[in-house]
Amino acid sequence: MWNQRDVAPATDESSPAAEAQGPRPEARLSSLEKALEVCETLAAAPRGLSVTELARALGQPAPTVHRLLAVLKRRGYVRQDEQTSRYSLSLKMLDLSFRLLGRSELRLHAYPVVREYVLRTGSRAFIAVPDAGEVTYVWPAGPDEAAMHTQYGRVMPGHCALFFSEGTAPRRLSCLRLARKADLVRSEEVVARLESGGAAARERLNCTCAPVFDYTSREVARVGVFAHAGDEASLLTADHRAAWEVAERISLRLGHLPTAHSAGVA
């Protein structure tokens, strides 16, 4: 039970009278500042804090702090230990920060891995961020040099089977879009083929791509390998495994920890 001196006065923004009049701008700002102070104080307490400890640290009435914690907990910003009843920050702040960094964080971890693969194998690769309509192509440009080019809002090679039809494909396309590791051993079933007639049909574009996951196991990008060839031999025996391995290395750098159940076992 709260002490009488901790009970908020009738003029507080949470009082029935204030609620009946509607929230005032300064009241909303005050509540926001208090909530931010709660988060900042919890960030400095790795073992968490009780309502009483937090109220003492903030110099706020315990009922006010409890009300703020209830909102923050409902929105997922704080969590409460079931045994100790102490509050601490959740990882939602980190998740919001990661989403804000988004593609710049992805580039930081993806480009070195893709560049190393391109220089080592001489292959052409790409990093696609479908949600942003962005694809960056990477190819060898010298003994120890790689070139890059980014396009926005353009059709991505790794998704050609989703964008083209039999009548619109400019060439023969073999698109192997990997969803999980088990697809590596069933590539013949997964690959999508588009056949167009005419002179362009003499050359086939083979393309494969694999998912990149972040620390929350959310797919944030796709990494692919593509090449022109007369058949699908390389696509079905080596390229698809290379794409998966590159994507897996990037995912690990982003904090993803794959499991046999979620990734599938080849």
Same domain, 190 and 139: yes
Predicted TM-score (pTM) above 0.85? no
Amino acid 99: pLDDT? 62
Same domain, 120 and 32: no
Would you say 250 and 219 are in contact if contact means Cβ atoms under 8 Å apart? Answer: no
Q: What is the DSSP string of 180-194?
A: SGGGGGGHHHH-EEE
Would you say 151 and 135 are in contact if contact means Cβ atoms under 8 Å apart? Answer: yes
Amino acid 265: pLDDT? 42
Total structural domains within the chain: 2
Considering 90, 117, 136, which residue would you say is the last residue of a domain? 90
CATH number of residue 204's parent domain? 3.30.450
Same domain, 213 and 131: yes
Q: Which residue has the higher pLDDT, 95 or 229?
A: 229
CA atoms within 13 A on the CB side of 143: 0
Amino acid 139: pLDDT? 93
Extract the tokens encoding 82. 């079931």
What residues make up the domain containing 45?
4-90
Query: Distance between CA atoms of 206 and 226, rounded to whole angstroms?
Result: 6
Q: Is the pLDDT reported for residue 7 higher than 50?
A: no
Same domain, 119 and 235: yes
pLDDT per residue as tens digits for the range 42-92 = 999 989 999 999 999 999 999 999 999 999 999 989 999 988 999 998 878
CATH number of residue 83's parent domain? 1.10.10.10
Extract the tokens encoding 79. 């969590």
pLDDT per residue as tens digits for the range 97-122 = 666 555 667 888 899 999 999 999 99
Long-range contacts: 125-128, Cβ < 8 Å, 24+? Answer: 125/223, 125/224, 125/225, 125/226, 125/243, 125/246, 126/156, 126/157, 126/158, 126/209, 126/223, 126/224, 126/226, 127/221, 127/222, 127/223, 128/156, 128/158, 128/159, 128/209, 128/221, 128/222, 128/223, 128/224
